[in-house]
Structure 1
């Protein structure tokens, strides 16, 4: 008995399915080829700590405690490859608290917590954040400054974040910087430097903190300087 011939409708459906499979397969291959690549390797904790100077200028490290930390959450172990806290003292100056947070891969899910999020979780009321600049190693780094107040503590805070070659001052700018890097085929690394001092005078504190940050950066290991300042794109 002769086999029944395939109907034109069945043949068209099969051909469409085959063509659709080819198109989807090609799209998947292109998407895989354009998938953002992680360019920066993880840094071992001990090596990262070695890059943090114990003393510079008139400043000496005296403690690793007393610094307000980012709140723990389900992603805390993935948010930061490295998290360092230090307290430094200098003659006739109030102690300065330092926090450094680094992650080698910032994507749409994992991004460095900004201090405006961390401090309120700890019960602080914040003044509006204002823009400042930190001058270091012939670079001008966009940074933020605010006052955090709790019932028994007033802290003046300055910080900056670097994502790849960008210095986002706001959460929205941070997300945009990550998306731009991802669209360019890159997964940027992320670095935050936060310095703070106890006291009620913002003007005096700003001068102290920006000066401390400048000296810290300029006296750090060159590899730490690169993490803090990122690539020089001034041309």
Structure 2
């Protein structure tokens, strides 16, 4: 699909979503009917060679960005992990019981520039994890002398949205059944001018974390097993 066709498709989906909002507004929240998500419990504090680095304070975003995040998400987990080699990975997971358009503001392409970062590149990629082909986005950011490679993905229900079009289609599919999906954005990053090394370390971190999680949280953070998705 060409870029122009994708733009027209997304525009058409947005118009359809607007029409649906008038005709039949979804009322049933998926999050109210299933097991409750607790990010503090679901993501292990120690696994493999990784543990929380208590010496590194959690850096909160600017007050205006923080206020927006708190309005949209019901839970936000922010931690920094370190291994025995001194390699550090910053983790941020934002969960919301209502996967609406507003959740898009937490995407790195949006929230990093809002904090003064420059987005140097955005690349789609794929990561093999727990038998899943996990579609991810790699965003290279910089502010002054700080280079921060970022890797993230978005989950709607128990499926990973690998692009904006699919993300919107998932919303519409739930909406047609009168349901409001929950969702989350999972992001890892590190400070490293060597982007290849940074992404290799982040991938190893995620694989170790996933192996230590319960199956329930594996599907919530990485999508249901058996999904064959392309980036």
Query: Which interval holds the TM-score relative to the shorter structure?
Result: 0.7 to 0.9
Structure 2 residue corresponding to 1:97, chosen from 75, 78, 90: 90
SS in 2 for 1:143: strand
Name the one with the larger helix percent.
2
For the pair shown, the structure with the greater C-alpha radius of gyration is 1
8 Å CA contact 1:162, 1:228 repeated in 2: yes
Question: Does structure 1 residue 221 correspond to structure 2 residue 214?
Answer: yes
The match for 1:53 is 44
Larger displacement relative to structure 2 (174-183 or 54-63): 174-183
Structure 2 residue corresponding to 1:154, chosen from 147, 151, 174: 147
The match for 1:65 is 57
In structure 2, relative to structure 1, the CA distance for the partners of 1:125 and 1:205 (3 Å cut) is same
In structure 2, relative to structure 1, the CA distance for the partners of 1:140 and 1:165 (3 Å cut) is same
Output one character per residue of 1:2-44: Cα deviation in whole Å (capped at 9) or x when no partner: xxxxxxxxxxxxxxxxxxxxxxxxxxxxx66x83521223987
SS in 1 for 2:190: strand
Listed as ranges, the matches of 1:67-216 within 5 Å are: 67=59, 69=61, 72=65, 75-111=68-104, 113-171=106-164, 173-216=166-209
**Aligned equivalents of 2:173, 2:26: Cα separation in 1:** 13
Q: CA deviation at 1:176?
A: 3.7
8 Å CA contact 2:147, 2:191 repeated in 1: yes
TM-score, normalization by structure 1: 0.74
Q: CA deviation at 1:152?
A: 3.3
8 Å CA contact 1:67, 1:99 repeated in 2: no
**Greater RCO, CA 8 A, separation 6+:** 2
Kindly tell me the number of residue pairs found equivalent between the two proteins: 203
Structure 1 residue ranges without an equivalent (≥5): 1-30
Structure 2 residue ranges without an equivalent (≥5): 1-22
**Aligned equivalents of 1:109, 1:146: Cα separation in 2:** 20
8 Å CA contact 1:53, 1:221 repeated in 2: no
RMSD, aligned α-carbons: 2.8
TM-score, normalization by structure 2: 0.75
Q: CA deviation at 1:173?
A: 4.3
The match for 1:7 is none
In structure 2, relative to structure 1, the CA distance for the partners of 1:124 and 1:171 (3 Å cut) is farther
